[in-house]
Amino acid sequence: MISVDNKVKNIYYMLCYSFYGDLLSEKEEESLGSEAFENIYNLFSLLLYMILKRQIKKGMYKDYNDFKDEINVIKGKINLNDSINNNSFVKKKIICEYDKYDENCLLNQVIKTSIYYLLKSNKIGTNTKELLKKLSVYFDDVDIVEIKSINWDKIRFNRNNLAYKYVIDLCKLILNGLIVSDKKGNNKFKEFLDDTKVSSIYENFIKAYYRKHYPEFKASSKRLYLTDKPMSSNIPMMKTDITLEYNDKVLIIDAKFYNKILRDNYINPRCRTISNNNLYQILTYVDNQDPYKEDKVYGMLLYAQTINEPTVSITERLNGHKIMVKTLDMNAVWDDIKYKLNMIAEMLKQDTFN
């Protein structure tokens, strides 16, 4: 029987690693209460609250914004045409265009918009809404914007606003992943996150976990070029999900989050197998990094086990390389998930993959 509570709670842990690189403290986790794990909507809302509360303590981000206003003192650039058309001179005023340095910038607008729609939702618990309302007062002078008008590509992070990245990443996930518009243009919540978004969270979680607990592995995503002239070729570049390096050994992990791990085999209906494409992909990664088959690079398909699929643990030598297929049960208790990830790390350290 699948435990929904464990599944939701484990997504919470994955998000914490993805956005923090570590878990919240026990005291902070206890403060969330049981409501946090009732559904995915409370989970995202409370995680936003925890991240935002920390950020507000450090100070609200401000930026320069363009304003046009009818004022009685010249400021910035005079808009003569608008002043004449608006009869501003009769009122002893003038319309000026100027920059204003304040909190009403795009980053804060995205945050306030996220809070606004979360508070409107009937899927968010009462206690959760009260916590969000406490933070919303800090955004009284910030505008709410249309979700569709947010140009995420225009958001740039620099030394002054880099601390906001975690908050904005989560807001993007909330606004694009959980909120959609119906045919009448009303915003409502989706019933679940799609596989693509959860898969990205799963991948980032594994990478962040090893970065935090095994910094000696230098966990990263690496670009792989299949040709000697990547810039002048039509051959695509490939990128690993997670690459772990220890001494002269390398483990390339391809993180997979699907509804089903095993698929029907049309050649042998009695035998269910993993995806051919997944296997070819990890083989290509390993072969690219260890073309002479020196046994210095291992490959692993690490599937998130989310339904009543059998646990898979396979180690085979394929095309001269050691390739593993393993499952990580996302419905298990959190300590079991950590144990499995730690075991993989220890096997790399001791070179005992079997």
DSSP 156-192: ---TTTGGGHHHHHHHHIIIIIIEEE-TTS-EEE-SS
Write out the two tokens for 310.
């059998």
d(C-alpha 60, C-alpha 105), whole Å: 10
d(C-alpha 164, C-alpha 174), whole Å: 15
Neighbour-count burial of 128, counting CB atoms closer than 10 A to its CB (0-12 exposed, 13-18 middle, 19+ buried): buried
Q: What's the pLDDT score for residue 317?
A: 93
Within 10 angstroms of residue 245's Cβ, the number of other Cβ atoms is 17
Q: Please state the domain extents for the chain.
A: 4-62+104-193, 68-99, 199-350
CA 36 to chain centre: 19
Statement: the pTM of the whole predicted model exceeds 0.85 = no
Write out the two tokens for 209.
């976990």
Write out the two tokens for 160.
């002054």
Give the residue from 123, 141, 144, 124 showing the smallest Cα distance to 132. Answer: 124
Q: Which residues pair with 324 in a beta bridge?
A: 300, 315
Give the residue from 210, 294, 292 showing the smallest Cα distance to 249. Answer: 294
Encode the chain (354 residues) as per-residue pLDDT tens digits.
334 456 667 877 888 787 766 545 556 556 555 666 677 778 888 888 888 888 898 889 998 887 788 888 888 888 989 888 989 888 999 899 888 888 999 999 999 999 999 998 888 888 889 999 999 999 999 999 999 899 998 898 988 888 898 889 889 888 887 776 666 666 776 665 666 677 888 898 999 999 989 999 999 999 888 777 666 667 778 899 999 999 999 999 999 988 788 887 777 777 888 999 999 999 999 999 998 888 999 999 999 987 677 899 999 999 899 999 999 998 888 889 999 999 999 999 998 876
Please check whether residue 243 is in contact with residue 221, taking contact to mean a CB–CB distance below 8 angstroms: yes
Q: What's the pLDDT score for residue 264?
A: 79
Residues sharing a CB contact under 8 Å with residue 318, sequence separation 6 or more, in sequence order: 279, 283
Residue type (1 letter), 77: K
Q: What's the pLDDT score for residue 3?
A: 41
Residue 240 Cα distances to 97, 251, 279, angstroms: 49, 11, 14
Pick the CATH number of 199-350 from 3.40.1350, 3.30.70, 2.60.120, 1.10.3470: 3.40.1350
